[in-house]
Structure 1
């Protein structure tokens, strides 16, 4: 294999700096808007999704916390994990002072990318959660919308603004109103944004499903503006679990199921028939499961479509829409790489997951080189950067963008 191309990571994360909403919100919202307070944490337990049992005490471990109405979100080490050993990547409360600056400072982030063989990075939110559901859950819709817009203005103008393309903007939308969501997509597309967060299973958030028709204005806006819909595992505020007392490692091992369930939902929804140019991306879902679910979905379509409710909805085998409309994403998945002939060399992208516990930083080049051993150079180029360039409409490598196979 030739020298590994510089990577474009399609799934990283930003820990929002303390000033975001106090700087970017309109003044009338700032007093009640999200702000950072340092508190002592006596105890903390993850219940599921974005829910924790938390105890605050004056003599507890210091932590910087987002305070927003009744919500208190504690910064935790396993979320800002880079720089710690694997055994120290625990659910420990922490302050900004204990984080690597690349977690929250754009210039430091670009420096950390440069030492990690990464040219550009797409970053998901932390405090708003993976599709901005924090602001959807707030009872004041005016405040929620103002917070969404403030986040997007900060993301585009400050986080990405001076990075010379090294940081790629990824916006959130007001999920409670599809017309408002469409308007926010169009507002940001006018300033060059081509990526938006969405929930893998919106019905888990108490929102209408993708089968309902509710989201059509949002889907239409994304298709019209070439904005890719990015769905991170956990963006439904629910992770697969077997029991309440199972170790978190069980849910972590099964997390791909969120992406698998969501993709199956989309393949049978008819949305990719009605919006044929819409593009979807599954973040941190890995890819090794894709060959089987495509096989199973096609088999169900062939054998069960009459009673399965999709005979008039899905005119082609479901896998057709995967190859034409969907991108997978991985960071360590040898089985998926070994299945490239079915996964589709034009359908997968790479990530570093900085700064989470799954991150391959600062060894991403070595990890990727091992995974790509024996893979043809042109396929390596596509997986490491070419497909991400197409997916995110980046102004890079225009002479290298080949026609896309759809079978």
Structure 2
């Protein structure tokens, strides 16, 4: 971090994230497994709490224990909550069973960070492919796109206007197209099938979402121009081999963007969301 000039980073689970797809017959065991990971991560991040920001893993297979764990980890210093974009226990993120959890997280003023990863337990767009590479190409961005769309169109953001959503490790170049696609559908159907909606899709996006980019995205300047540089932040996926370390910072600094835009992406947009400002 010092070598790269990184002031703070959010720590996410890797293999541990697969727990969020596994079926547990015993909710207490599920909670114990998630709590065990969270306690380890909290202890690890406590070595430099201002720089290492912990993402608590919530046992979303069982929404009531997830509420309990959200409260417990918030009291111990968690900066945000990690959930999968995939349907877990046959529930999409907009499912009404999650509304009490989103209410609780709103009251705690911490973001929900949506992060895909490989799992044999969850449905994924990558399942249609025959190699890890081809599955990985589509899984992360496609799962993020569908999660964003569903949270907007099924009224989760309307019901929870203070729920901050951060999409990580899914790139950001798809944002202009995806918002355009949703706006097109609003223009020809409005809220006919989704009467709960009171605003256009892009309005919900701009009030509640942040999307993390890679520094080497050739489409990043277009996303900043067409969507706005207030809605994009930065990730490296360190230390994964498909991440951008050690050149991600340099790549972003060399993008044809203003110094103000680069500062927003590096720090200004994410810092207040994660309690660093």
1:298-309 matches, cutoff 5 A: 298-305=183-190, 307=192, 309=193
Partners of 2:35 and 2:128 lie apart in 1 by: 38
CA distance in 1, matches of 2:60, 2:234: 27
Question: 2:263 is matched with which residue?
Answer: 381
Post-superposition offset of 1:287: 0.8
**What does 1:249-398 align with in structure 2 at a 5 Å threshold?**
249-255=133-139, 256-305=141-190, 307=192, 309-310=193-194, 312-331=195-214, 332-371=216-255, 374-394=256-276, 396=277
Q: Does 1:183 align with 2:68?
A: yes
1:171-208 CA-to-partner distances (Å, cap 9, x unmatched) read: 01121221221121112222332300112132xx3332
Q: Is the Cα contact below 8 Å between 2:58 and 2:66 reproduced in 1?
A: yes
The unaligned stretches of length 5 or more in structure 1 are: 1-112, 397-407
Whole-Å separation in 2 of the counterparts to 1:368 and 1:191: 34
User: SS of the counterpart of 1:265?
Assistant: helix
| Alignment check: 8 A CA contact 1:195 1:227 kept | yes
Relative to the length of structure 2, the TM-score reads 0.90
Distance 1:179 1:368 in 2: 41
Correspondence 1:133 to 2:17: no
Is the 1:281–1:329 contact (alpha carbons within 8 Å) kept by the matching residues of 2?
Answer: yes
SS in structure 1 opposite 2:15?
coil
Larger relative helix fraction? 2
Is the Cα contact below 8 Å between 2:81 and 2:110 reproduced in 1? Answer: yes
Contiguous gaps of at least 5 residues in structure 2 = none
Contact 1:116–1:364 under 8 Å retained in 2:
no
1:226 aligned to which of 86, 101, 109: 109
Structure of higher RCO (CA pairs closer than 8 Å, 6+ residues apart): 1
SS at match of 1:129: helix
Q: Which residue of 2 aligns with 1:122?
A: 10
Query: Following the alignment from structure 2 to structure 1, what is the Cα–Cα distance between the partners of residues 49 and 106?
Result: 26
Does 1:142 find its partner at 2:33?
A: no
Alignment partner of 2:199: what SS? coil
Bigger Cα Rg = 1
1:240 aligned residue: 125
Moved over 3 A (4+): 234-239, 241-245
Figure out how many residues of one structure are paired with residues of the other and give that number: 273
C-alpha RMSD of matched pairs (Å): 2.1
